[in-house]
Structure 1
Amino acid sequence: MKRNNLITALSAATVMTLGGVGYAAHKRGRNPYYRGPKSDHFDGLRFHGPDQPADKTVSDIARWRKLRGVESPPRALWPKAEPSPFRDRPPERFPGLRVTLIGHASYLFQVAGRNILVDPVYARRASPVRFAGPKRVNAPGIAYADLPPIDVVLITHNHYDHLDGPTVARLWQAHQPLILAPLGNDAILRAYDDTMHVETRDWGESFDLGGGLTVHMTPANHWSARGLNDKRMALWCSFVLTTPVGVHYHSGDTAFRGGSIFREARARFGPPRLATLPIGAYEPRWFMRDQHMDPAEAVAAGLLLGADRMLGHHWGTFQLTDEGIAEPVAALAAACAEQGLAPERFEAFRPGQVWEG
């Protein structure tokens, strides 16, 4: 089957869970993105976390489809459009901490006078191609033209719903921001603009932005791929921002897996003032639990972190999995009630919604 026919045949879930087909195959046994010393989470070819689960396969996708409506609920039907009631036009600078959800997992963090974009995705589809893959059902909560001057772009990992190469290249050309990403992602980003400067770091490493603002790269329980032949060849991460106005924990995609990464982050940095955590793309659990938290696990993660406030993202913009568009909101409310948390302690954010503190 030709590659274009293959991508058409793949479901949206396949694109997002097995990787797209837009990247050239690498030579067997060679990492096309990163060459560096072996470590406790890099074997010379692929990255891995503690007790890294087996990679999902095409057979797993077939099983997912087969079990829909039998051993798991059928795939929920999302609306073609679900506009957010919020729209933000952020100030040029903000002295404290101001956080806007752009959509899905894309945020603008305005902190101590700096403007930081995390995983900016302005594409219509979270996909390696324009004609297939998950299509957004609401517009970005900040129009691209309304973005303030961008100082920093943080990339958590290379999946298409988090790393939108054309958007990052456009930001580079317009703002010349510092771009910070986990190991190996610089090669991927420079394929979109070979003039782009990208700083890469490993888990446990940091980048001092000056003025009391430092970005720390911490582990996430996830994986990476841009194609069918490059699984786990670029690193993935969460970020912790230590700032003059407090600690902010931002998780990229992550599974819970016992919660050790959250305990370790709290031990190293203290309880965060704010934690931004994913609450969507979690059904069916047998398939997704190794890579995405459900809302109850997100609440558990926030409690392990000791976060004062929590915001939920990674839901309601791209349909990647089987749950309904509003199910994460109801499940989050139920999980908060079970833990005795006030609803305002952990909010499911929609595009354009703003938190200031």
Structure 2
Amino acid sequence: MRKTKSRNPYYNGPASDHFNGTHFFNPDGIEPLGFGDLLRWQFGGGRQPWPKSVPSPYAAAKPDARVDGEDLRVTMVGHATMLVQVAGLNILTDPVWSERVSPFTFAGPKRVVQPGIAFDDLPPIDLVLVSHNHYDHLDIATLKRLHAKHRPRVVTPLGNDTIIRRAVPDMEMTSMDWGERIAHAGISIDAEPAHHWSARGGADRRMALWASFVLSTPAGKIYHIGDTGFHHGINYKAAQQKHGGFRLAILPFGAYEPRWFMKGQHQNPREAVRGMKLANAAYVAGHHFATFQLTDEAVDAPVKALQEAMREHDIAADRFRPLRAGEIFDVPML
């Protein structure tokens, strides 16, 4: 297909059902709200106070070098950053070791709990998944550190590779569109839709793609979502129909209030439980809570709401684990 002319600084490619030649979008979805709505939220007075420091009930982990065979282990670092160890591979999701998730080092949401793995205690990192370019998921400072020490392969949706390569020119990187599949060291990686958006500043909204990932491994399938709105469960149903279900889903369930502003970008705990069921996930590693204050709810509200939602849906407590920094989850076999 002929490429279209584009004013997009990150990606120039053919139009599709989710790209109009300049901007990416969620088909039949909710567009991100504007600056006036942002001001209405910020000055609405609904934000609950967070403590400056929240100690994790778990000590910082010191992971094994590798996990092989049918074992599948997830160790929580914080927010959306997890170490996934499976099939002899060490995989990081949306790695952030910085103190703030912001374009500035002196302002913006600040970490309230220290990383659950000290950076120097990481095992050799083979693969990094970056789901989209918001600062709490794409952290250039951390990617530079990972490249200097581990030289991993980075897999990310279209356009994010341009952002990363400007800072780390020789990073090994693969960019993917929704529906594409690649192979890596005995596993396959599918990029699938998520209902979200992207921006690094005020002039680049929706110019890099966002995605979820499915890892098909000898130990089972893993469905990783960095951020998503529920979107009537459409993407969960599609993932189940395509992939048949998952040994593990990595799902966000925090940063969801106020709903009128966050509905199109962040699912709430009840929606995350519904997504678990729609995707046919045996177990869930829950994330995106109690690390950086991004939204209005109290620091402990997501876990309380999650526990209530699991009771409503008759989901056993050990199946949807809201992981805290340093916590290790050895995912049971199906």
Aligned counterparts of 2:72 and 2:43: Cα–Cα separation in 1: 46
- Deviation track 1:102-147 (CA, whole Å, cap 9, x = no partner) reads 1000011111100011100000000000111000001110000000
Q: Partner amino acid for 1:226?
A: R
2:24 to 25, 43, 47: 47
- Deviation track 1:159-198 (CA, whole Å, cap 9, x = no partner) reads 0000001111111121111111100011100121222231
Q: Partner amino acid for 1:143?
A: A
Aligned counterparts of 2:138 and 2:129: Cα–Cα separation in 1: 10
Q: Partner amino acid for 1:191?
A: R
What is residue 23 of structure 1 aligned with on the other side? none
What is residue 257 of structure 2 aligned with on the other side? 283
Q: Partner amino acid for 1:259?
A: G
Q: Partner amino acid for 2:307?
A: A
Equivalent pair of 2:22/2:207 in contact (CA under 8 Å): yes
The sequence identity of aligned pairs, in percent, is 51
1:107 to 82, 86, 89: 82
Q: Unaligned 5+ residue runs, structure 2? A: none
2:98 to 111, 123, 128: 123
What is residue 32 of structure 1 aligned with on the other side? 9
What is residue 83 of structure 1 aligned with on the other side? 55
What is residue 143 of structure 2 aligned with on the other side? 168
Q: Secondary structure at the match of 1:308?
A: strand
What is residue 227 of structure 2 aligned with on the other side? 253
Q: Secondary structure at the match of 2:37?
A: helix
Aligned counterparts of 1:207 and 1:29: Cα–Cα separation in 2: 26
Alpha-carbon deviation of 1:66? 4.2
Q: Partner amino acid for 1:308?
A: A
Q: Does 1:306 align with 2:306?
A: no
Q: Secondary structure at the match of 1:303?
A: helix
Q: Secondary structure at the match of 2:25?
A: coil
Equivalent pair of 2:153/2:171 in contact (CA under 8 Å): no
Higher mean C-alpha deviation, range 83-92 or range 228-237: 83-92
Matches within 5 A, 1:141-290: 141-211=116-186, 213-290=187-264
Q: Partner amino acid for 2:10?
A: Y
1:295 to 241, 255, 269: 269
Q: Secondary structure at the match of 1:262?
A: helix
Q: Secondary structure at the match of 2:222?
A: strand
Aligned counterparts of 1:89 and 1:143: Cα–Cα separation in 2: 8
Aligned counterparts of 2:31 and 2:16: Cα–Cα separation in 1: 19
Aligned counterparts of 1:94 and 1:55: Cα–Cα separation in 2: 40
Alpha-carbon deviation of 1:29? 6.2
Aligned counterparts of 1:174 and 1:183: Cα–Cα separation in 2: 25
Q: Secondary structure at the match of 2:281?
A: coil
Cα gap change, 1:29 to 1:248, in 2 (>3 Å): closer
- Deviation track 1:42-96 (CA, whole Å, cap 9, x = no partner) reads 111000111232332221022113433xxxxx21100000011222110010112
1:93 to 50, 53, 66: 66
1:56 to 30, 33, 46: 33
What is residue 21 of structure 1 aligned with on the other side? none
Alpha-carbon deviation of 1:342? 1.3
What is residue 18 of structure 1 aligned with on the other side? none
Number of residue-to-residue matches in the alignment: 324
Aligned counterparts of 2:6 and 2:175: Cα–Cα separation in 1: 23
Equivalent pair of 2:91/2:125 in contact (CA under 8 Å): yes
Please give the root-mean-square deviation of Cα atoms over the aligned residues, in Å: 1.2
Higher mean C-alpha deviation, range 190-199 or range 246-255: 190-199
Aligned counterparts of 2:249 and 2:168: Cα–Cα separation in 1: 32
Aligned counterparts of 2:6 and 2:223: Cα–Cα separation in 1: 35
Aligned counterparts of 1:29 and 1:65: Cα–Cα separation in 2: 33
Aligned counterparts of 2:199 and 2:205: Cα–Cα separation in 1: 5
- Deviation track 1:176-224 (CA, whole Å, cap 9, x = no partner) reads 111111000111001212222311010011111132x111110000000
Q: State the TM-score, normalized to the length of structure 1.
A: 0.89
